[in-house]
Amino acid sequence: MIVVKIGGAQGVAMDNVCHDVAALVQQGQPVVVVHGGSAETNEISEKLGHPPRFVTNQSGFTSRYTDRTTLEIFAMVTNGRINTLVVERLQQAGVNAIGLSGLDGRLMLARRKDAIRIVENGRQRMLRDDYTGKIETVNGGLLHMLLDAGLTPVVSPLAMSPDGIALNVDADRAAAMLAGAVAAEQLVILTNVPGLMRSFPDESTLITHLPAAGLEQALSFAEGRMKKKVLGASEALGLGVSKVIFADGRVEHPLQDALAGKGTTIA
């Protein structure tokens, strides 16, 4: 089993990724696809007159502030636009894909972080009414039922609180939790950079192999959104996934190259 996370950032060659997924599925390799959607959500939020807002917590992690209006735009864009278009591309490539969010069949249950401590202009304050969550459980049984029926799940980064509220979740960490739940051997995270670099953006500092023990240190030099990918890798390995690969999603054969050892392999 392979879990593939497709970045929402500009530049990832969605058609190429879908062709590579199709080649794997047609070889009998079960695949679960997970995608993001931040970049497109920002664009459409702007057009709808509700521009995105980002906040930084004490540990320096930046995340989207998701009020209810933002949550509904995020759901619309990720679970409607991006998910449907990935399913369409996979169907065109001969893969019987099925789109899911974490609400469907209670696929991903999350704890709502309804009050988050943020740092703004150097001062701490609490931010409430946020619709963001941290995934706690994944319904692996549902994924296995679909995979056994010959379907390829395509998952958007929305989870559900235990009382049924939709929550925005980080797609990299969702991919890690899903990989753990289906006992995937490999988690491939495709993005718009060649992998983890010791000093971003100098590509000559690309790390090709990283032992799991090096992940904590990697957190200190990983840049921006790469921090969450490092956290995701750490979670996936902790859940029994043998190998996590960060690789370039902009090339002709993104998944094939990643599985052949390009990018950063963490094991």
Residues near a copy of itself (CB under 8 A) are 44, 47-49, 72, 75-81, 83-85, 87-88, 91-93, 96-101, 103-106, 142, 145, 149, 151, 158, 160, 163-166
The alpha-carbon radius of gyration of the chain (Å, integer) is 17
Name which of 181 and 266 has its Cβ closer to a copy of itself. 181
Minimum CB distance to a copy of itself, residue 51 (Å): 14
Name which of 32 and 55 has its Cβ closer to a copy of itself. 32
Minimum CB distance to a copy of itself, residue 103 (Å): 5
Minimum CB distance to a copy of itself, residue 165 (Å): 7
Name which of 56 and 92 has its Cβ closer to a copy of itself. 92
d(CA 243, CA 40): 29
User: Taking a C-beta distance cutoff of 8 angstroms, is the pair 247, 264 a contact?
Assistant: yes
What six digits make up the tokens of 173?
A: 């960490």
Q: Quick one: CA torsion of 150, 153, 154, 156, rounded to 10 degrees?
A: 160
Name which of 146 and 241 has its Cβ closer to a copy of itself. 146
CB burial of residue 67 (10 Å; 0-12, 13-18, 19+): middle
Minimum CB distance to a copy of itself, residue 10 (Å): 17
Minimum CB distance to a copy of itself, residue 248 (Å): 26
Name which of 174 and 233 has its Cβ closer to a copy of itself. 174
d(CA 241, CA 178): 10
User: Taking a C-beta distance cutoff of 8 angstroms, is the pair 181, 130 a contact?
Assistant: no
- CA atoms 22, 184, 176, 155: torsion sign: positive
